[in-house]
Amino acid sequence: MHLKKQRVSALFIFLLIGGMFITTCFAQAPEDILAEVGDVKITRADFDKELATFVAMANPQAAEHFATKEGRQGFLGQVAEIHALQKKAEQQGFNKGEKYEAAYHEMAVARLADEAMQSLVEGAKVTAVETKEFYDKNIASYTDPVQYHVFQIVVNTAEKAAEIKKKLAAGGSFIDLAKAESIDKLKDAGGDKGFVSVADLEENIGKTLASLKKDEVSAPIQMDEDLFMLVKYIDKKDAAPKAFASISAQIERDLLANKQRAIYETEIAKLKKELAFEMNASAAESLRKESLSDAEKNAVLFKMTGKEVKVSEVEAELEQIPPFIRPQILSGEGLNDFLKQFYSRYLAFANVEKNFAELSKKYPEIINDAARRTVIRFLLDDKIGAIKLEDSDIEDYYKKNLAQFNTPAQMRAHHILVKEEAEAKELFATLEKDPTKFSDIAREKSVCPSGKQGGGDLGTFGEGQMVAEFDEVCKTAEIGKLVGPVKTQFGFHIIRVDERQAAGVMKLEEVREQIRSKLMPEKQREVFTKLVEELKKEFNVKVYQDKL
């Protein structure tokens, strides 16, 4: 079996197939029939079973909705639509042939693996006694930390902080001085930060507050190279344990999750032994590299009875993960955790393959559900998967919605920030002689993070995003020419404007794919809705919602 993630049509989500829509084959009283799809009758017993299964897997909001009469009636309608889709798919022969059999078997194996593991972990239970004992032993973990009602003043030099400290010591108003001198977002509020948990404060601020008396102002605290802070608190709430009743449910959930995880880990360890699992450590480590050679991609990552899995297979799966998350997975234990999830799925699937006949008999509803999901997917791929958008559709949308694609005026610049004007003038003179040194000097001398991180590159920004003095230079300076020193509240800048773009409208080619990604689901949904309505007429679908 080709072991890849199940490919499910994007339109499949409309079906809400979360439960197993199984109808009984024995006769029941007419009043028990809630819906009819041709010769298929959906009984109350069928509906209750399907709804219970769906709700068990739904999030709390969905579960709450389906507990209402409106939610139950809507769900009944969806069940009937599912049967209509299945009936049409089978009528057109989508449940026959090698392609269907392979897809059905793959779906059945995945579903049986999930069900078998779920059945194992469902045996885990947590008692009220266990929950209370855990709370008592770990009460420190359930204690709300100290909270302070904090006031702060933030400035950009130690000298300025010391000057304000003297004014406060002489009787100056903390609130008035914060409004006049502070450079942070709490300036207009007089530095009032409100009650803050010590857990949410930077460590040095928390320690400082702990050493102060009420209304006592701290000495200047250096937060960064160009940030200094004065703090005080006017009120304090001592640490206190949370009431057991308020967190017992969460503790119970955590303990249950731990027990279920232990059961899962035990099962995976057993399968590794039974299936003679072996991991190639050097091949696994190669996945940390930015790029792999063909030989490294073709190396065996792990093997087990009757199966070898190459590095290329897990690499393909890693590529499905958003780029900004990938570095976390590839560093430290992240890669090992990812590989464990990856090979655990293979082990579970291999175990199902080994015991397919036995598990199929044990979970017949899973087999039926896999067949139904597969045949409906084939129908949707045929009816909806081939839908295409014409270029004219995209162009019409673009012309009718030009306002969506307006872009503000933008600029791109490099800068070097230092504290003293004399140093800025000296660096400016050096750069006038050799402008190519800009990035190197920014990395060495600039106190702005952009210096060390990008050689002073601020990237693209809009008008008004920077402080007024800096913004004015960026709007008027000659492109590529050095300007400075420019004084702002942060210090002295040497600025080089690299690019300016006037406000305008993005070109069609720049937004073509963006428009396509918006219009395609809408068109697919339209075709899907039309298909369902046609099938409801064709199969004379009747839904007796008033019986719910």
Give the length of the chain.
Answer: 548
Whether the Cβ atoms of residue 110 and residue 8 lie closer than 8 Å to each other: no
Place of tokens 């093997």: 303
Residue 497 lies in a domain: yes
Residue 512 lies in a domain: no
Whether residues 196 and 253 fall in one domain: no
Measured CA to CA, the distance from residue 498 to residue 495 in angstroms comes to 9
**Rg of the chain in Å (alpha carbons):** 33
**Total of domains in the chain:** 4
Whether residues 331 and 261 fall in one domain: yes
- Confidence label for 9 from pLDDT (cuts 50, 70 and 90): very low
Whether residues 8 and 83 fall in one domain: yes
- Phi/psi for 137 (5° steps) reads -75, -25
Instruction: Give the pLDDT confidence of 86-133 residue by residue, as tens digits.
Output: 999 999 999 999 999 999 999 999 999 999 998 999 889 999 999 999
Whether residues 418 and 446 fall in one domain: yes
Last residue of a domain, one of 238, 260, 284: 238
Residue 401 lies in a domain: no
Coil vs helix vs strand at 387? coil
Coil vs helix vs strand at 127? coil
pTM, 2 dp? 0.63
Q: What is the CATH number of the domain that holds 442?
A: 3.10.50.40
Residue 515 lies in a domain: no
Whether residues 8 and 110 fall in one domain: yes
Beta bridge partners of residue 192, listed in sequence order: 151
Whether residue 50 has pLDDT greater than 90: no
Cα separations in angstroms, 235 against 182, 195, 197, 477: 21, 8, 12, 50
In the chain, how many H helices and how many E strands? Answer: 22, 18
Residue 264 lies in a domain: yes
Whether residues 354 and 310 fall in one domain: yes
- Phi/psi for 129 (5° steps) reads -65, -45
Contacts of 372 (CB under 8 A, 6+ apart): 17, 21, 82, 86
| Domain with 259 in it | 244-364
Measured CA to CA, the distance from residue 200 to residue 222 in angstroms comes to 18
Q: Where are the alpha helices (DSSP H) in 446-507?
A: 449-454, 468-476
312-328: average pLDDT: 80
Whether residues 325 and 370 fall in one domain: no
Contacts of 419 (CB under 8 A, 6+ apart): 157, 226, 447, 491, 492
Whether residues 167 and 220 fall in one domain: yes
Instruction: Give the pLDDT confidence of 458-479 residue by residue, as tens digits.
Output: 988 988 889 999 999 999 999 9
Report long-range pairs for 204-208 (Cβ below 8 Å, ≥24 apart).
Answer: 205/229, 205/231
Last residue of a domain, one of 175, 204, 238: 238
Predicted pLDDT at 31: 56
